[in-house]
Copies of this chain bind each other. A is one copy, B any other.
């Protein structure tokens, strides 16, 4: 008998019919003789509906009251899913985040889980019940309802799996697994049988969107084996676990990409230790996320600095920097929109120094200009023109032979 944590996202519980379908997934595990804890998100459009209600009241709702409002979404789902299980003759009980013992920091709208008191869940499992828990929410000091921010339900599921020492954590979603690249753009994209935590982290951060980075990081830290799989189809999904258990340490496992990228260039920046830190601290304090950063240091006293941001943040970025122009002493700011980021990810890269060069070679052969580059041990990211994005992804997918099933290494 194993202990399985299942997580169903918003689209997988988007209607009473889909909730009954999710219940069937849970019942399959019970019929396999396993104990099951289920974590659910709010039903499909519920969160959007609640957000729009708040927007009719005020443009600046307090974070505490937004948490109070949004946390009702998962509470609706847990009750309906539990009813569905009971209607099929299975003993089940629903818990909100606070009832399930999910404790968080004293922060609203983006709290991190600080601990889980899982005694109650353990007792209910012992009594043979399916325990259905509201994802995305917890309780801070003073009995305050908090929410975990984006990807919160994934994080709840992984944290519960870690706390309960579950044998696995299955993330049910509207795709059948993690792909070598986005199959909506690249026909030959292939579903991966397995991927390492680190590779998934890079892919998740790079916009693959299937699983939140916080949840992957949590799973990695606590060694929780994850499987991303479809809530509507029966086929096996993609296992996410330590590299040592993986099929092969592939040089390139997948290709991630995102558009709506812009490049900001600060020209004529006086050299000095504090300018960089001032710029990025200021941007961070305005909630602007900077991605790739490149500084071209020259022999002269004036340097130029480039970085990429989301296109929707360009206007505010330029405005914030201009406010500090006299303090920072730069000459001018330039911005370029219409860009995309294309990244190759694979844990085998660390021992294959030629991978970046091969990527640049492929792009050059396609006549694609690389505007920015950033590398880590297991990825190479390039910023290119948005017009070239799909062509670049297809060429790289071909060149690194991602559509072919890798040979098993014995």
A136 CB to nearest chain B CB (Å): 14
- The answer to whether residues A57 and B76 also contact, given A65-B94, A68-B94, A99-B143 and a CB cut-off of 8 A, is no
Residues of B within 8 A of A72 (CB): 72, 75-76
Number of copies: 2
Total count of chain A residues near the partner, CB < 8 A: 37
* A77-85, A200-208, A278-286, A399-407: which lies at the interface: A77-85
- The answer to whether residues A57 and B69 also contact, given A50-B76, A99-B143, A143-B99 and a CB cut-off of 8 A, is no
A33 at the interface (CB under 8 A from B): no
Partner of A87, one of B58, B75, B93, B143: B58
Q: Are B84 and A58 in contact (CB under 8 A)?
A: yes
A16 at the interface (CB under 8 A from B): yes
Residues of B within 8 A of A58 (CB): 83-84, 86-87
Main secondary structure of the interface of A (DSSP, over half): helix
Cα A302 to Cα B65 in complex, Å, equals: 67
Residues of B within 8 A of A19 (CB): 57
Q: Are B68 and A54 in contact (CB under 8 A)?
A: no
CB within 8 Å of B: which of A221-249? Answer: none
Q: Are B80 and A53 in contact (CB under 8 A)?
A: yes
A293 at the interface (CB under 8 A from B): no
Q: Are A65 and B53 in contact (CB under 8 A)?
A: no
Q: Are A79 and B84 in contact (CB under 8 A)?
A: no
Q: Are A16 and B50 in contact (CB under 8 A)?
A: no
Cα A83 to Cα B70 in complex, Å, equals: 13
A159 CB to nearest chain B CB (Å): 20
A22 CB to nearest chain B CB (Å): 11
Q: Are A76 and B69 in contact (CB under 8 A)?
A: yes
Q: Are B54 and A80 in contact (CB under 8 A)?
A: yes
- The answer to whether residues A83 and B99 also contact, given A16-B56, A56-B16, A75-B68 and a CB cut-off of 8 A, is no
A62 at the interface (CB under 8 A from B): yes
Residues of B within 8 A of A99 (CB): 143, 145
Shortest Cβ distance from A144 into B: residue: B99
A292 at the interface (CB under 8 A from B): no
Residues of B within 8 A of A56 (CB): 16-17
Q: Are A66 and B84 in contact (CB under 8 A)?
A: no
A115 at the interface (CB under 8 A from B): no
A184 at the interface (CB under 8 A from B): no
Q: Are B20 and A57 in contact (CB under 8 A)?
A: yes
- The answer to whether residues A16 and B84 also contact, given A65-B79, A68-B79, A79-B66 and a CB cut-off of 8 A, is no
Residues of B within 8 A of A98 (CB): 143
Q: Are A80 and B69 in contact (CB under 8 A)?
A: yes
Shortest Cβ distance from A62 into B: residue: B86
Cα A87 to Cα B59 in complex, Å, equals: 9
A60 at the interface (CB under 8 A from B): yes
A329 at the interface (CB under 8 A from B): no
Could you jot down 19 A-B contacts, CB within 8 Å?
A: A16-B56, A16-B57, A50-B76, A54-B83, A57-B83, A57-B87, A58-B83, A58-B87, A60-B87, A62-B82, A62-B83, A64-B93, A65-B83, A65-B94, A66-B79, A68-B79, A71-B75, A75-B75, A96-B145
